[in-house]
Amino acid sequence: MLEQTLAADIAVNWSHLGIVERAGDASHPFVQTALWRVGMGLDASDEIAWCSGLATLVLETIGIPPSTSIKLGPGRIVGKAAARSYLRWGRAVERADWRRGDVCVFKRGGNDQPGKDVLDAQGHVAFFLELLEGGAGAAGVSGPMVRVVGGNQKNQITIADFPLAQLLDVRRAA
C-alpha cells in the first residue's frame, strides 16, 4: 500500500527525526502528543515507552487506522499503547514482500521473551526501511539486521538496526 510506504518516509523526513526525551521532569511535548494518541494523557512522561505512540501518530497523519486495544480475557487487555498490539493490526507480510513503511514488531528485553502469540509482553514497533543481510550490526551483533525508523530508540526518533532474530512479525495495513 503506497500510503503505508509513505509512513516511513514521513517519519524519516519529518523535522521530528532526532527528537530526544527531555531529562528530569520536563517531557518533550511531541512525545507527550504521541502518548496522548494511544490514551496515555497529555501529561504522560516521556519516560514511558512511546514507540507505539509514534507509530500511531504517523499512521493517523496519513489516514491509516492504527492498532487498537485487544481484549485477551476477563480483565486482561493489551492497550494500543503496547507495541505488541500491532501484532494483530493489518495483515502479516512474508519476508520476500517486505516494503519500506511496513510495520515491524520486535521482542524487547532478554532473549527469553515470548513469541508473537503472546501479546502482553514487552515489545518494540517501528517502520521497516531495509533488510541488511550480513555483517556486524549495532553493538557487535552479527547476522541479518532489520533497519527501521521509529520512536523511543535510544530515547529518540531515529533510524536503528535490530537483529532479525528479535523480529516477531512484519505487518501492513489491510
Q: What is the CATH number of the domain that holds 15?
A: 3.90.1720.10
> How distant, in Å, are the alpha carbons of 81, 107, 142, 145, 160 from that of 137?
28, 17, 6, 7, 10
Q: Which domain holds residue 59?
A: 2-172
pLDDT for the residue numbered 104: 97
How many domains would you assign to the chain? Answer: 1
Mean pLDDT, the chain, integer: 85
Beta strand 145-150 with 123-132 is antiparallel
Q: How confident is the model at residue 46 (pLDDT cuts 50, 70, 90)?
A: confident
On whether the pTM is more than 0.85, the answer is: yes
User: Collapsing DSSP states into helix, strand and coil, what is residue 79?
Assistant: coil
**Which has more pLDDT, 108 or 43?**
108
Averaged pLDDT for residues 13-30: 77
pLDDT for the residue numbered 23: 79
CB-based contacts of 110: which residues, under 8 Å, 6+ apart? none
Each residue's pLDDT tens digit, 89-130: 999 999 999 999 999 999 987 768 888 998 888 999 999 999
Each residue's pLDDT tens digit, 129-152: 999 987 655 556 678 999 999 999
Cell numbers for 42, please give them: 497529555
Could you tell me where the beta strands, DSSP code E, fall in the chain?
70-73, 76-78, 91-92, 103-107, 123-132, 145-150, 158-163, 167-172
